[in-house]
Amino acid sequence: MKIINGKALLLKLRNPNRVTETIPKSKVTGPHEVAVKWGVDEVQTLRSLGVKAPSPISGRYDWPGRYRPMEHQRTTAEFLTLHKKSFCFNEQGTGKTASAIWAADFLMKQGKVRRALIICPLSIMDSAWRADLFEVAMHRTVDVAHGDAKKRKKIINNGAEFVVINFDGVEIVEDEIRNGGFDLIIVDEATHYKNAQSKRWKCLNRLVTEDTWLWMMTGTPAAQSPLDAYGLAKLVNPGAVPRFFGSFRDQVMMKITQFKWIAKPSATETVYNALQPAIRFTKEQCLDLPDMTYVKRAVELTRQQKKYYNELKNKLVMEAAGEEVTAVNAAIVMNKLLQISAGAVYTDDRATLEFDIKNRYNVLKEVIDESSQKVLVFVPFRHTIDIIVDKLRKDGLTAEVIRGDVSAANRTEVFKRFQETPDPKILVIQPQSAAHGVTLTAANTVVWWGPTSSLETYAQANARVHRSGQKHPCTVVQLQGSAVEKHVYALLDNRIDVHTKIIDLYKQILD
């Protein structure tokens, strides 16, 4: 297909399934040729007639933003503009957020969409969606609906073209959303809507009308069970699944005992057909992806953590007034604040004070669920490791620990099983204990529960997955919930050793 411009679409009537090229109407001459306007409505009509017309975005869009789209991102955006209700199953780290923004922006320019509501986890409202909107569609107005009900309602009613909201916030402002002119809803981490009996699902279902554009995005559709597909399909393609959940369960599962069901051999095909229309790119298919992608995930500190973090910070501000701060004292202070952020702080008498870490743990689970391969979780503080591993195992995930008190022989055995067998799926590691000389290429996702203060340790730990033998593009995920964590990660990202900037960092945090 040769594109001359985006004004019209030339069709060969002798072969109506083939789109040949676009030309101005004035240049259509042959008796078997006709030019039609090339817009979203026309392309959808042509496709309903069996004509494989391309999306008009491919010839009529300038792809704004600070960077140019990669080929798979263009293809994803084209797909979304052609399917009013659809799935995007591109893997984590493939840039599907930007693809959706470009597609939404194009539909706004076409007059097909006025406002877009983005529903996503709390942890990526700012770090992924707002940040990408500013990078990709800086000419659009953006707001994040977070806070109490009054604040959320005000933001919804302010009229921003893109509004970002977390899952649990939707029900709070359901009426405002319904009356707010949102004709596009984008759901990121869509597996949160797998249960069609949940209040969350029912709320979204009430908001989605026949005229609503709905794009549901996740890199791991029905990863835990074929049954997870039911709620997703009921939102996007309800005609592809039975009316009742029990009938769908009978289609994809076999009952072995009173309490045990297993997937039928045909379950994969059934789920595939239910979750349509859909597009999927794996990292391996995206040849223009970088070898290592760095992602930030915002984590809200719990009320308990905020209380102690602020108390310690205020105390330090008073103590530091008029005094010369030494590097040693600054390092001690920074370490205490990092410990509180991570979930457990050591008192002066070496006792351990544990904090509620449910927010950070929930984000960790989201990342694990989205990962296509195994996962390394680097945790700087030993006591927090025990808390995390206990939670993972209670959730049915196979996890092993590598830290200073694990013998060399046991480490070797754990590393061998991690590399060569299905379990464990997750290694929870104290960074200094596996930062050098170990190959862990069975994983392609690295999660930093909290930052390390050593640039060398950080780089070497990430290199455990990014080395010879790695067959998959890699992702490094930084969990950050406090100001001190954000500043430390910023230094690491800029390849600056934290120790060389410890005094400056100390002053930044206290200010």
pLDDT digits (tens, 9 = 90+) for 425-453: 999 999 988 756 678 989 999 999 999 98
CATH fold match for the domains 66-285 and 292-299+355-482: yes
pLDDT digits (tens, 9 = 90+) for 451-479: 998 888 888 888 888 876 788 888 999 99
Predicted pLDDT at 9? 45
The yes or no reply on domain 66-285 and CATH 3.40.50.2300 is: no
pTM for the complete prediction? 0.71
Residue 124 tokens, joined: 């990526």
For residue 221, is the peptide bond before it cis, meaning its omega torsion is within 30 degrees of 0? no
Could you tell me which CATH class the domain 292-299+355-482 is placed in?
A: alpha beta
Residue 496 has pLDDT above 90, yes or no: no
Residue 2 has pLDDT above 60, yes or no: no
Domain range list for the chain = 2-54, 66-285, 292-299+355-482
Q: Which of 413, 424, 414 is nearest to 368 (CA)?
A: 424
- If one counts every other C-beta atom within 10 angstroms of the C-beta of residue 138, the result is 11
Task: Tell me the average pLDDT across 311-315.
Answer: 81
Task: Tell me the average pLDDT across 279-284.
Answer: 85
Predicted pLDDT at 511? 66
pLDDT digits (tens, 9 = 90+) for 33-43: 555 567 888 88
H helices of 343-407, in order, are 358-370, 382-394
Residue 6 has pLDDT above 70, yes or no: no
pLDDT digits (tens, 9 = 90+) for 19-61: 433 434 444 445 555 555 678 888 878 877 888 788 889 877 9
Q: How far apart (Å, rounded) are the C-alpha atoms in residues 198 and 217?
A: 19
pLDDT digits (tens, 9 = 90+) for 62-104: 999 988 898 999 999 999 999 999 999 998 778 899 999 999 9
pLDDT digits (tens, 9 = 90+) for 154-165: 999 999 999 999
pLDDT digits (tens, 9 = 90+) for 211-246: 999 999 998 788 778 999 999 999 999 999 999 999
Q: How far is CA 345 from CA 109, 308, 334, 352, 480, in A?
A: 52, 10, 12, 6, 17
Predicted pLDDT at 37? 65
